[in-house]
Structure 1
Amino acid sequence: MSSIDACLDGFALINRRILEQPRQERDRRIDERSVAVVVPDLDTTFRLRLTPEGLADLTHHTGGTHLSPAQVTVTVGGDDLVAIAEDRLSAKLALATRRVKVNASLGDLLRMRSLLG
């Protein structure tokens, strides 16, 4: 089972990939959104903002902490989060096989799809 630290390292890898994209692409594909990543096996929710400048304000909370709703909520196991971050698991495959669940508006879902390539 992955740890909170491994998930944080995964977010750093994801952020690096976002920042490798040309600024024009990021501006075109990313609208700033609040994101909650729920990792049930670690009893943890990561909160962050997705921006054209990358991932910002990353925090994590354990247990049943009541937080304001996020614009995008992703539910994923810790091992799958790390595997996606390390490119050992395709995000598209994880979505298709329901290893990752996303709760967002239709517009946000379409934008996320374009980010996945």
Structure 2
Amino acid sequence: MATVEECREALEELSAKMGRAEGDTRKATQLDRSLGCRITDLDVTFSGRLRDGALHDITTDPSPERAQIRLTTSSDDLVALVAGNLDFAAAWARGRIKLEASFKDLLVLRKLL
């Protein structure tokens, strides 16, 4: 099981990767949405803001509002996903990752996945 700090580092690495994205993927990172990432095995939720091609203000303080984009997964799966060792579509199909967002946001986010 990964630690809270390893999960935070994975989210920061994801933010850095998003900042380096190009083409259609770059366009998908330009959303301005609140983001929540619930880590089931650590019973912690990271929250932040997807804006300007990166994740900002990542914190473990629960947000009083429901995030517009919500990801639920285990700590190990988050770390593996960001490291490129876990395919999002396969993990989602197996129920290892859950993604909730508006239909419009899901259409845009599919370019990131």
Give the alignment's TM-score, normalised by structure 2. 0.89
What count of residue pairs does the alignment treat as equivalent? 112
Q: Post-superposition, which runs of at least 4 consecutive aligned residues in structure 1 deviate over 4 A?
A: none
Q: 1:92 to 1:22 in 2, by over 3 A?
A: same
Identity, in percent, stands at 32
**Cα offset, 1:35, TM superposition:** 0.7
Report the CA distance between 1:23 and its aligned residue. 7.8
Q: Are 1:48 and 1:56, in contact at CA under 8 Å, matched by a contact in 2?
A: yes
Per the alignment, residue 93 of structure 2 pairs with 96
Higher helix share: 1
Larger deviation, residues 67-76 vs 17-26: 17-26
Which runs of 5 or more structure 1 residues have no equivalent in the other structure?
A: none
TM-score by length of 1: 0.86
Deviation at 1:20, TM superposition (A): 1.1
Query: Which runs of no fewer than 5 residues in structure 2 stay unpaired?
Result: none
Report the RMSD for the aligned CA atoms in angstroms. Answer: 1.8
Contact 2:31 2:53 in 1 (8 A): no
Query: Residue deviations 1:44-99, cap 9 Å, x none?
Result: 000011123311010013xxx57211101111111100000111101121112111
